[in-house]
Structure 1
């Protein structure tokens, strides 16, 4: 009887090992849980609207995918390529009036402004950079490296 007991114990271990691949397959064949990425909401300022974000890989992918849906997208990074947030942004229209002013809370900002020519000024870590963009007829991207 003692030998049979050992056989049953060994048989149980073998059965557990034999079942393990089936359990793994069942887990991998299960329907994945999809957690929607909540995009930041648009804010209004001056004559335009904006949304900034891109912190974390899911939000970054979502913000990059949405670039085509906005007249202007702004990207902020260090010279090394590392993303940068807390960038002070001022957008001025052709007459020099401020159309939009914001501080980014992420490395990507989408800006919705009427068609026209604008000067975008971005300031970070004591350095200010500017670019002139003309909006209308498609989306534009302004890349600022500090």
Structure 2
């Protein structure tokens, strides 16, 4: 096998340098995932890089939650309670969202999402399965 040419080595080095300069990959910019029963979630979005990564990943999750004030400023430390709105197993899941964006992996079904923060409470129902859903809560 012939040795790679100098030009190929230079191009390979340039591509590697460009990839490193581009910064961390999307997966590296997402916060760690947590599990509660059959719920897997990631909350974050603090800082431009993480916020951009979280918003870009929303299309890959069955359900996303967004928390903001009426003026558009992000909110964090929101209490989240998710329960099945179907008959049968009614496993409730509760956590505190430590960022304005939450990405959730849930089995298909209908759910009631209740949130509390900034002195206000809101609730919505959502059907998960099929196209990704997003719930936007304003405080």
Structure 2 length-normalised TM: 0.78
CA distance in 2, matches of 1:59, 1:126: 26
Task: Give the conservation status (yes or no) of the 8 Å contact 2:29–2:49.
Answer: no
Structure 2 gaps of 5+ residues are: 1-16
Tell me if the contact between 2:110 and 2:128 (Cα under 8 Å) persists in the aligned partners. yes
SS of the residue corresponding to residue 63 of structure 1 reads: helix
Match of 1:34 among 19, 22, 39: 22
Tell me the equivalent position of 1:10: none
Structure with the higher fraction of residues in helix conformation: 1
Matches within 5 A, 1:57-96: 57-94=48-85, 95=87
Unaligned runs of 5+ in 1: 1-29
Give runs of aligned pairs for residues 108-119 of structure 1, distance below 5 A.
Answer: 108-119=101-112
1:8 corresponds to:
none
Looking at structure 2, the residues matched to 130 and 42 of structure 1 have their Cα atoms a distance apart, in angstroms, of: 24
Separation in 2 of the partners of 1:71 and 1:130? 18
1:140 aligned to 2:128? no
CA-based RMSD of the aligned residues comes to 1.8
Contact 1:46 1:99 in 2 (8 A): no
Deviations 1:101-137 (A, max 9, x none): 1101110001111000000001002211001000011
- Structure (1 or 2) with the larger CA radius of gyration: 1
